[in-house]
Amino acid sequence: MITFGKKMSFRPLILSLISLFAVGSIIAGLFGTWGWLAGIMVFVVLVVVHYPGVLELEYNYFEITDHQIRYYDLSSWWKKFLMIFSGTNTPLVSIDLDKVVGARTVGKEQGKGMSPGLPYSNFLSAFSGLISTVRNLYWIEIKLEDGQHKYFSLARDKAYETDKTISKANLVVDWILASKETK
């Protein structure tokens, strides 16, 4: 089995709850009950807007075995929203390799790191992994026999281990194509 990405955890939910209590208690100390409403609003923004928007970049785990590709279904906002509350219990969906007719990598192979010469604020440095991931977009594209195309992001892995990710991706594509030729 070859794996890519990061498995889902309860981290987004925990950070959202911490934000709720931190903002809520600080503002409640100043303005009373209104502070808890502000904390709840921060929680809702994180859970409804922020995390569903970045899950595809941060938690894009998938695995390839001899018979199938298993991955998180990130195809809709609702499914991403449910992942936040499911955490480690998020189910994987699968595609049988028999249904795959083609595979290729998409994106530039050279990696882009964060520029160390730029002064980043503490706020921006908290997002440095996400920024680096966005700067290293790279996918494995799978074409299915029914004409559908599935894209599996390797950006997170590529941001942290460019050469290893590129070789694993090329190995997977070559392996899938070779398995099609032997049939």
pLDDT digit string (tens) for 139-148? 899 999 999 9
pTM of the model: 0.78
What's the pLDDT band for 122 if we cut at 50, 70, 90? Answer: very low
Q: What average pLDDT does the chain have? A: 84
CB-based burial, 119-134: b 16+ in 10 Å, e otherwise: eeeeeeeeeeeeebbe
Question: What gap in Å lies between CA 13 and CA 59, rounded to an integer?
Answer: 13
pLDDT of residue 133: 60
Residue the block writes with tokens 């029914």: 146
Question: What gap in Å lies between CA 164 and CA 100, rounded to an integer?
Answer: 24
pLDDT of residue 124: 47
Instruction: State mean pLDDT over 69-91.
Output: 95
Q: Is 158 buried (19+), middle (13-18) or exposed (0-12) by CB count in 10 A?
A: buried
Question: What gap in Å lies between CA 45 and CA 60, rounded to an integer?
Answer: 21
Beta bridge partners of 93: 71
Please give the angle made by the CA atoms of 143, 146 and 152, to the nearest 5 degrees: 30
Residue the block writes with tokens 């991931």: 133
pLDDT of residue 119: 52
pLDDT at 69 over 90: yes
